[in-house]
Amino acid sequence: MSSFSDAMIFLREFVKNPRQLGSVIPSSGFLKRRIMRAAGVHQAKTIVELGPGNGGTTRSILAAMPADARLLSIELNEGLYQLSSGISDQRYIAHHGDAHELAAILSQYGLDQPDVVISGIPFSCMEREAGAALIERIHGLLQPGGRFVAYQVNPRVDQLNTFFKADNARSVAWEWLSIPPLRVWRWQKQTAA
Ligand SMILES: C[S@@+](CC[C@H](N)C(=O)[O-])C[C@H]1O[C@@H](n2cnc3c(N)ncnc32)[C@H](O)[C@@H]1O
């Protein structure tokens, strides 16, 4: 399918459910490159993508990650799941479901604890308690030294995140070459002492 028709499906799903998608168009190439760098995808072993949408970010992860790495994407929206599950790569698993079920989904596929979690899901559109619980779960599941990267317009994800405690655990950068411009947050779990 062409990227134009993928973008049209994304727009259609946004019109049906704006709070779930959080954005009217898929991520720009500039944003995708910033996300890949922030997450250190090129040296990851097990990557989880929450909210792959039409699969644009998924393709960027697959292009950047090592040949022996694994990628699991979790997409709630049925129409968009159909797009992300159409990507054919032996290293890739597409799951139709809810990011909140992350632990059960990882064990369903027998995957190791991730060293990278990348999230485009709109934390600002979920209940505060649910958002905090999801971040706590991500922190708990990440390997020591693992990275959690979230790209958002709204700073709610940062406000809810009290789980990555080391002083140097957090960084944030704006991506202006994106519609709309948004921030890419990166947190790193402490390595074992
Ligand atoms: C802003 S879009 C990002 C799409 C794509 N990754 C990109 O950057 O172009 C957010 C995506 O998160 C999905 N989403 C929202 N809540 C979710 C949840 N609880 N679990 C899994 N996916 C979710 C939406 O359906 C949507 O595809």
180: tokens are: 């709309």
Instruction: Judge if the beta carbon of residue 55 lies within 6 A of ligand 1.
Output: no
What is the sign, positive or negative, of the torsion defined by CA atoms of 129, 171, 152, 97?
negative
Ligand 1 center–CA 74 separation, angstroms: 8
pLDDT tens-digit series, residues 135-174: 999 999 999 999 999 999 999 999 999 999 877 799 999 9
For residue 90, CA distances in Å to 50, 52, 72, 105, 114 come to 19, 17, 11, 18, 18
Q: Band of the pLDDT at 5, cuts 50, 70, 90? A: confident
pLDDT at 113 exceeding the cut of 90: yes
- Average pLDDT estimate for 80-94: 96
E strands, the chain, where?
46-50, 70-75, 92-96, 116-119, 147-152, 170-175, 182-188
CA 152 to each of CA 91, 117, 171, 180: distance values in angstroms, whole numbers, following the listed order: 27, 14, 14, 10
**Residue 1, pLDDT above cutoff 80:** no
Tell which residue, 104, 114, 180, has the closest CA to residue 141. 114
- Ligand 1 centroid–CA 66 distance in Å is 24
Convert the pLDDT of each residue in 114-139 to its tens digit: 999 999 999 999 999 999 999 999 99
The domains located in the chain, with CATH, are 3-188 (3.40.50.150)
Q: Which atom of ligand 1 is nearest to the CA of 58?
A: 6
Question: 77 CA distance to ligand 1 centroid (A)?
Answer: 8
Q: Which two tokens stand for residue 144?
A: 């020591």
| pLDDT band with cut points at 50, 70 and 90 for residue 47 | very high
